[in-house]
Amino acid sequence: MYAVTPPQRSDLGSNYGLRVYQTWKGSNIFCLQGRFIFGPDARSLGLTISLIVVPVIVFCIFVASKLMDDFSDTWGVSIVTVAVVFTIYDIILLMLTSGRDPGIIPRNSHPPEPEVIDGNSGTSQTPRLPRVKEVEVNGNIFKVKYCDTCMLYRPPRCSHCSICNNCVERFDHHCPWVGQCIAQRNYRFFFMFVFSTTLLCVYVLAFCCVYIRKIKESEDITIWKAMLKTPASIALIIYTFICMWFVGGLTGFHLYLISTNQTTYENFRYSYDRRSNPHNKGVVDNFKEIFCSAIPPSKNSFRAMVPREAAPMPSRSAVGGFMSPNMGRGNDEIEMGRKGVWAMAEHGDDKNGSNNERFHVNDDELGDIRTTTDDDEQSGSRPNIHPRHSSWEMSPEVMALASRRT
């Protein structure tokens, strides 16, 4: 694995020949020269894989192999085969969840131009970006917040993961068991991994019970004496029963989230009901959105070459006395926010409400968004935006939403 360390300021002008993953500013760990991206806690993958593989090995050696003598050749071999194939399938889903880009939004290379003046009348006025901007999607007002770290306005349902240090689209949660954020591009695989792990636990537990029953019937002894003859089966029954409560409960919880089109972050942080959740499209359409829709391509090309930069850009704080909209706020408020990311206008909490501009877009336009790179900006190919909005310099996603209606 390749642990990326942020480049020093003195190296900014000499990064020619490096790839994106080698100059990555997040806390991610890359493997196979940027082909796989993990979270900083990727070492937990070893523990997770062990918790799956070791019990299956014990099951195949001490239980399934013994059952081959009690069943016909075809049935006996199939017991072992199904366990092995199911385990491999489960590990593949785990790697698809952990080793891919969950939906990271590329951060801007410099902060936006400040527009709002925050201060008393006089010469001591300080330019300050508004902390919140509003975007309207299908009649629902979403509040997009500025991220100090990524220097962009986060799109709706996007949050900044403090562990990976990235803004992630449709952020669900950061799972330490898979060592990765669970978000837009890997949520489907995460749910399938949890669900298949539940089925694997049921499979192992069921055949352990069958093996104990076979011992009882063949030797004509009590069930307790039969259990004492196969301690491996007892250990597997206890282990899988405990795991079933964990992964089975997690499966049920995410089935509820999918049916109501919520994320774990939204469910714990906000109070949605059937009327107020603007993302809920109905149970059938909600499941189609997760399992039948195309996974959007990654907005990051981790193996792309980093272009040479002529010279480091001076920070905004040194030019014009720029102040971040979150300067002086606690770190948790900067990354996650104190209020809901969406609200109706009459319930808005932005103190700079007079400066909020609303963009009107359709819900089906949220999935078709092009990322504006620094090269696009230099070549003049960034989306056309009304001049009144140009100094906001929101994230490319929000800018693209606005450009469709202007």
In the chain, domain spans = 41-105+173-292, 106-112+129-157
Find the radius of gyration of the CA atoms of the chain.
Answer: 26
User: Residue for token digits 């995460």?
Assistant: 190
Catalytic residues: 175
Q: How confident is the model at residue 397 (pLDDT cuts 50, 70, 90)?
A: low
Distance linking the first and last C-alpha atoms of the chain: 45
**What is residue 382's predicted lDDT score, i.e. its pLDDT?**
38
Q: Return the structure tokens found at 185.
A: 């591009």
**What is residue 24's predicted lDDT score, i.e. its pLDDT?**
93
* Of 194-198, 349-353, 391-395, highest mean pLDDT: 194-198
Mean pLDDT of 112-121: 58
Task: State how far the Cα of 265 lies from the Cα of 277, in Å rounded to an integer.
Answer: 14
3 state SS for the chain: CEECCCCCHHHHHHCCCCEHHHHCCCCCEEECCCCEEECCCCCHHHHHHHHHHHHHHHHHHHHHHHHHHHCCHHHHHHHHHHHHHHHHHHHHHHHHHHCCCCCECCCCCCCCCCCEEECCCCCCCEEECCCEEEEEECCEEEEEEEECCCCEECCCCCEEECCCCEEECCCCEEECCCCEEECCCCHHHHHHHHHHHHHHHHHHHHHHHHHHHHHHHHHCCCHHHHHHCCHHHHHHHHHHHHHHHHHHHHHHHHHHHHHHCCCHHHHHHCCCCCCCCCCCCCHHHHHHHHHCCCCCCCCCCCCCECCCCCCCCCCHHHCCCCECCCCCCCHHHHHCCCCCCECCHHHCCCCCHHHCCEEEECHHHCCCCCCCCHHHHHHCCCCCCCHHHHCCCCCHHHHHHHHCCC
Least confident among 36-45, 67-76, 204-213, 364-373: 364-373
Contact 401, 369 (CB under 8 A): yes
**What amino acid is encoded at 36 in this protein?**
F
Mean pLDDT of 52-68: 93
Q: How confident is the model at residue 402 (pLDDT cuts 50, 70, 90)?
A: very low
Query: Which of 28, 20, 21, 91 is closest to 54 using CA atoms?
Result: 91
pTM above threshold 0.95: no
Contact 11, 22 (CB under 8 A): no
For the cut 80, the answer to whether the pLDDT of residue 356 exceeds it is no
Residue 26 has, within 13 A of its CA and on its CB side, a CA count of 30
Contact 167, 154 (CB under 8 A): yes
Mean pLDDT of 12-17: 56
Question: Which residues, listed in sequence order, are joined to residue 360 by a DSSP beta bridge?
Answer: 136
Contact residues for 25 (Cβ-Cβ < 8 A; gap 6+):
6, 107, 165
* Of 238-252, 295-309, 355-369, 390-404, highest mean pLDDT: 238-252
Q: How confident is the model at residue 70 (pLDDT cuts 50, 70, 90)?
A: confident
